[in-house]
Structures are given as structure tokens and as C-alpha cells.
Chains A and B, each alone.
Chain A
Amino acid sequence: MSPRERPETSLDRRAATALLLEGRDDLLVVPGLGSATWDCAALGDNPLHFSLWGAMGNASMIGLGLALAQPARRVLVLTGDGDMLMGLASLATIATQAPANLALVVLDNERHGETGMQLTHTAYRTDLAAAARACGFADARQVADEASLRASLPLVHEAPGPVFLTVKVKAEPLPRVLPPRDGAFLKDRFRTALLGENTAH
């Protein structure tokens, strides 16, 4: 099968990430490997970001465990289409738990960015927002321009979850901006920032 004609998108992934995270320093964020992690790092290092350098397919479920443990805090999983496709079954798991405080946002460039920009299934027929809807998400949408993304910010940050947003972004390789790579450090730093020194260790 040939890839379908790419839908027009005017969105740059770093600008989209900035729109999603600006002024939201208290948000608990799980950036998926690898591009989403670099996108978040490009905005500055934040201890409440648990940035993944690996664990492909797992970002959404880390977000679920975190959201269930912290029901009073908004949790955002910000990942790519490759990571979401590898953890696709987790959409069903998350919909069944129905955490009101969890948002999944996929920056969808229809490519595996870390391995050489090879096409993913979203370049063919797969619609991730439709999959989330079919699995039972409270709301699931797709945007491909800045106005629509801005209009979806209340969905991401305030609407009762679980909510899902596909953000179609340009397929462009960008310079990597690297957060710390020591996973144990990232974990302990996150817990210290969220739970305080006394309960974190």
C-alpha cells in the first residue's frame, strides 16, 4: 500500500509544544521518546517532566499510573505517533480506568523520527484519535493548524478525561535538545518535586 497524500499541516512540533506547555509549569508531563522529549527539553528543563529516552510504547501507561496516583493533578502524556502505535492497546486500558485528569497528546509527524524518519502507520490509514474514540475516550480530536490547536487547549488542560488529541505536525528533523539522561535521577527528581524531600526517598 502506498502512503496516502499527506494532509496539510502548518504546525511546527516545537511551536505546538510551546503552546501546549506555556505557563503550565505545574503540569505533570510524561514526554515520550525521543522527539517529544527533545521538544519539551527545548522549552527548558523541568523536574515535573519525566522524560523518556527509551521505553518505547510505554509513555501512555506511565501517565495512567501517575494520573491514578495523583487524581488532583493534571497529567499530560506528550508523545509521538510511533510510541503511541507501539502502546496502542493501552488506549483501551486507559479508557476503562477513565482517569478524569489524564490527557494524551500525540505529535504526529507520521514518521519514526529517531531511526531515520521512516513512515509509521499514521502515514497510511491509521487515525489515532479515531482509535482513542473507539476505545472509549471521553473526547478525542485531531488538529493540523494553530487556531485549532489553540481552540483545543481547554480540552487538553481542563476537560474531564481521559482526552486525546492528535496534533499533525510537519515531518522535519530538528536539532536535538537533551534533558538529563540518567533515568534514576529523573525519577528521583520528579518525586522530590512532586512529593517533597521527606516522602520522595
Chain B
Amino acid sequence: MSGSPAGWGVDAHRALHVAGIRQIGYVPDGGLSGLLGLCAADETMRTVLLAHEQEGPALAAGAWLGGERAALLMQSSGAGNCVAALSLIRTCCFPFLAIVTMRGEWGETNPWQLPMGQGTASHLEECGVIVSRVDDEAQAFETIAAAAALAFESGAAAAVLIGQRVIGAKSFDG
């Protein structure tokens, strides 16, 4: 296990703050807790607890219609839940930014995480999302800032996958 959640989370929050993100839609994940805590404490941001990941693209679309920028934070297991909703993003050319904490890869001990984790990048790319990865926490700020530029300056859909090696593999030891 390398890196600390606090480390990349601080940089990720700073990148979202600098990008002027106002609405943070999220489905909770242990790997996101540091970042989510910083977003919740940021007076310029509103965190929006989602019941289902498909709500994220729609929230982002509504925010943009109203003049605000949003981001979706979720675990890789929820990426598939966004597939249909991403057609809204693509059809209407909405900006879209997601941060995805990875499961089902490096050091995973829960086999149920593998199908979605191994397919996260390709599923998102099939939906027209530009995918980048952070496998070294020192790159978190620049990678998320670059994805935010793609989203909000170039009108693209972009996702940053935070590698499981950065977050740390979850243990299921009894």
C-alpha cells in the first residue's frame, strides 16, 4: 500500500476548488472520504449525496444549465450505472468531470469488484469520456486540473481514475 488518502485528497480538492466546481455529486466510498470531507468543509462547494450513480451526470447537466460547474465522485463499481445517463452528456455536449476511486485492480481481494473495475476505463471511453489515471499521488493535482480544463474549457466529458495503489487495497481479512 502506498500513498495516503489525505495526500491525494488535498490536491484533488484544491484542483476542484481552483476549477470553480460548486456542486459535488457523490456516492460515498472509503477511498473518497478525505476528499469528500474537504469538499464538505469548503464554503464554495455543495456536496450532494446521490442514491445512485446515474444521478451524477444529470445533476451536472442541471448545474451547467443554471450556470454552475459540478463534478461526480464515485467508486469504480458505479461507473456502469452512469452509462445510460452519459448519453445526455454526449448528446447535449455538456461539460462533465468525474473522479473515480478504483477497486477491482491492484491488490483487490473481493472478486465481485473485478468486472466493473477492470472495465471502468473502457466503459467510460465507450460513452465518449476522456479517461486519465493517477497512479502516483504527486500527479493528482495536475491530472484533475487538466481534466477540469478539458471539461469546462473544451466542453468535453472527462474522468480521472484514482488507482487502487494510491488509495490502498481494502482488506477483507476476518
Contact = CB atoms under 8 A, between A and B. Distances in A.
Interface of A: 28, 30, 50, 52, 54-70, 87, 89-90, 92-93, 96-97, 183-184, 186-187, 190-191, 194-195, 199
Nearest 9 pairs between A and B by C-beta?
Answer: A65-B62, A69-B66, A183-B92, A61-B58, A89-B51, A58-B58, A69-B68, A65-B63, A66-B62
Given A54-B87, A65-B59, A187-B93, A90 B67 contact: no
Interface string B67-107: 11010000000000000110110011110000000000000
Contacts of B65: 50, 62, 65-66, 69, 187, 190-191, 194
A96 B49 contact: yes
The secondary structure that dominates the A interface is helix
A69 B22 contact: yes
The secondary structure that dominates the B interface is mixed
Nearest to A30: B62
A64 B61 CA distance: 10
Contact of A57 (B48, B50, B54): B54
A55 B58 contact: yes
Contacts of B22: 69
B92 A70 contact: no
Contacts of A63: 62
B91 to A, nearest CB: 4
Contacts of B63: 65-66, 68-69
Contacts of B31: none
A89 B55 contact: yes
A66 B68 CA distance: 8
5 contacts: A66-B66, A68-B66, A90-B58, A93-B48, A183-B88
Contacts of B23: 65, 68-69
Given A183-B88, A184-B91, 5 more contacts: A30-B62, A58-B57, A58-B58, A66-B65, A87-B58
Given A55-B87, A187-B92, A187-B93, A87 B66 contact: no
A190 B63 CA distance: 12
A89 B91 contact: no
A50 to B, nearest CB: 6
A62 B58 CA distance: 5
